[in-house]
Structure 1
Amino acid sequence: MTVTSPVAPAPISLRRNFWRGVGRVLRRKPSRMVGVAIVVLFVFMGIFGPLLYPNPLPRDDNALYASPSWAHPFGTDFEGTDVLALVVTGTRYVLLAGLATAVITVALGTLIGLLAGFHRGRWDTVLMRLTDLQLTIPGLPLLLVLSTVWKFTSPIEMGVVLGLLGWGGIARAVRSQSLSLRERGFIEAAKGLGLPTRHIVVRELLPSMAPYIAMNMLIAVTGAIYAQVGLFFLGVLPFDANNWGVMLNLSVFGGGALSSTAALPYLLAPLLAILLLTLGIVLVVDAMDEIFNPRLREE
């Protein structure tokens, strides 16, 4: 009587191999581990940051624009509030708006691009004309008009608007990928078996594009961060919420950070946060490119 050793189910085995591969890719370049650590740090700040400080933040009238010190690593602002606390508590708004923008941008762009590329014909024509129309809409003037009637107090509201204005490029790119993949053998085989279109798109076509979509989602987060911070910096949106763009605006136009060194730490702190978060996302995208690209893994 022979005893066979237990064999792990195929999905579990594939999952373990995938995460082992992810670990190898991250360890291959220490910079990628740094990128993951930076992104995790900002996610932690966004989730738990506001819980670490009282609301409202304490002010010190005797320490207006105080220089950096152990008590205030980035100094204080014009109200004597710790700048580091402002950066940490403002992270949640920035990340939520960026994530909402990325989800809507990628979801709409992927859906429209997949339908247009897979069906072609009349569907392709209608959806691509709709995409062209979206790409021609000037985002900044439209936001200027909307800001007169919509206060954008919620980061989700900000994300919805930015997402609806930014899906065109993703739709174009996904359509190109769909046109290429629909001619592959496994798609032709699925059509030959008589599988429904929904099954082919969701189970066959979409998984093949998942890595590309995931990387575009991370890139969309950075674009959304730049957009919202820029709008607050320009004063287009009301300052009803604390975030990095509001800090930049108040430091430059209120504190004269470009002409005086007193408010310079107040300006540099949010800029450093934006730089670090962008760097972290770029390093993670670099790792994802190798994880999902067999040729890069072989090299």
Structure 2
Amino acid sequence: MTVIVNPEGAISPEALPAGTTRATLRRNFWRGVWRVLRRKPSRMAGVVIVVLFALMGVAGPLLYPAQLPRDDNALYAPPSLAHPFGTDFEGTDVLALVVTGARYVLLTGLATAVITVALGTLIGLVAGFHRGRWDMLLMRLTDMNLAIPGLPLLLVLSTVWKFESPLEMGLVLGVLGWGGIARAVRSQTLSLRERGFIEAARGLGLPTRHIIGRELLPSMAPYIAMNMLIAVTGAVYAQVGLFFLGVLPFESNNWGVMLNLAVFNGGALTTPAALPYLLAPLIAILLLTLGIVLIVDAMDEIFNPRLREE
């Protein structure tokens, strides 16, 4: 029996025996994922970290009241069992601020990543596959996107837009950030469209939608998935940085607002008592980034047969 292997090293479902179902392929894939994760404890740690942050974003705010309690007699209280990261300049528990602020940060990061990857992938695939006028038009649009100064535009938008919803923030960051992925996907598409399996699909007269959706897109799925995770970290840095600089109004609690208030209102850089208030959101950002980086390392091996250890 002749077995057809796609460019990513995966066996094509059409080339397998009739008894082999897609469910079997999925089970084999997840078994391979589990083996790759177990191979290095750091990868399992990355999954645990990201899952914990996801739970924090989903269920964390439900554990606290809408208005967090304040204690005027416990301003800048040191870390203790009652307050693991101490309290802020208003006597509010810092851990509660980190937990309740995670939802805005994570939802913004997820929305930004989805919009960035969706727009960049669509435009890159269409431009690279069709070439010609479509390629020229879409790449000029991409160049315009890359040339837009993000910070000045956000400064203007912040005068009329309060960004109360993380989806609003994610929409703006996503629309501003898809250009790099579009160019990268276009380059991948230009390379893949000359491969034999694409030529065979075109020779069979398959429609363009089928070739792009069933042949090109699955071949680039690993690359797209890793870029989506990386886009989450980029969105977290962007929004936290904007709130820290005071560019955006403080309509919602999040880690960037905490950093701004810790430095400019709480004097965390000069007052040792306020240091936990500054370190708590920084540690949260560091752990989230570490978890995503460790998962990306695992994904690189999962989808790249050359990196798999025998």
- Answer whether TM exceeds 0.5 for this pair: yes
Distance in 1 between residues matched to 2:263 and 2:67, nearest whole Å: 23
Q: In structure 2, what is the equivalent of residue 207 of structure 1?
A: 218
Tell me by how many angstroms 1:263 deviates: 1.0
Q: In structure 2, what is the equivalent of residue 4 of structure 1?
A: none
Equivalent in 99, 113, 123 of residue 88 of structure 1: 99
Q: In structure 2, what is the equivalent of residue 245 of structure 1?
A: 256
Q: In structure 1, what is the equivalent of residue 72 of structure 2?
A: 61
Check if 1:289 corresponds to 2:300.
yes
Distance in 1 between residues matched to 2:266 and 2:180, nearest whole Å: 38
Q: In structure 2, what is the equivalent of residue 184 of structure 1?
A: 195
Q: In structure 2, what is the equivalent of residue 278 of structure 1?
A: 289
Q: In structure 1, what is the equivalent of residue 11 of structure 2?
A: none
Check if 1:138 corresponds to 2:172.
no
Q: Secondary structure at the match of 1:201?
A: helix
Check if 1:42 corresponds to 2:53.
yes
Distance in 1 between residues matched to 2:161 and 2:103, nearest whole Å: 21
Distance in 1 between residues matched to 2:163 and 2:22, nearest whole Å: 44
| TM-score w.r.t. length of structure 1 | 0.97
Tell me by how many angstroms 1:262 deviates: 1.6
Matches within 5 A, 1:67-82: 67-82=78-93
Distance in 1 between residues matched to 2:27 and 2:117, nearest whole Å: 28
Tell me by how many angstroms 1:268 deviates: 0.1
Equivalent in 279, 285, 292 of residue 268 of structure 1: 279
Deviation beyond 4 Å, 4+ runs, structure 1: none
1:141-163 deviation line (CA, Å, top 9, x unaligned): 11011101111010000000000
Distance in 1 between residues matched to 2:195 and 2:88, nearest whole Å: 59
Tell me by how many angstroms 1:79 deviates: 1.1
Distance in 1 between residues matched to 2:154 and 2:19, nearest whole Å: 54
| TM-score w.r.t. length of structure 2 | 0.93
> In the alignment, residue 146 of structure 1 is paired with which amino acid?
L
Percent identity of the aligned residues? 85
Distance in 2 between residues matched to 1:93 and 1:133, nearest whole Å: 29
Distance in 1 between residues matched to 2:141 and 2:166, nearest whole Å: 27
> In the alignment, residue 232 of structure 2 is paired with which amino acid?
V
Q: In structure 2, what is the equivalent of residue 3 of structure 1?
A: none
Tell me by how many angstroms 1:56 deviates: 0.9
Tell me by how many angstroms 1:298 deviates: 3.9
In structure 2, list runs of 5 or more residues that go unmatched. Answer: 1-17
> In the alignment, residue 234 of structure 2 is paired with which amino acid?
G
Distance in 2 between residues matched to 1:204 and 1:8, nearest whole Å: 23
Q: Secondary structure at the match of 1:141?
A: helix
Distance in 2 between residues matched to 1:50 and 1:9, nearest whole Å: 45
Per the alignment, do residues 95 and 253 of structure 1 end up closer, same or farther by CA in structure 2, a change over 3 Å counting? Answer: same
Q: In structure 2, what is the equivalent of residue 196 of structure 1?
A: 207
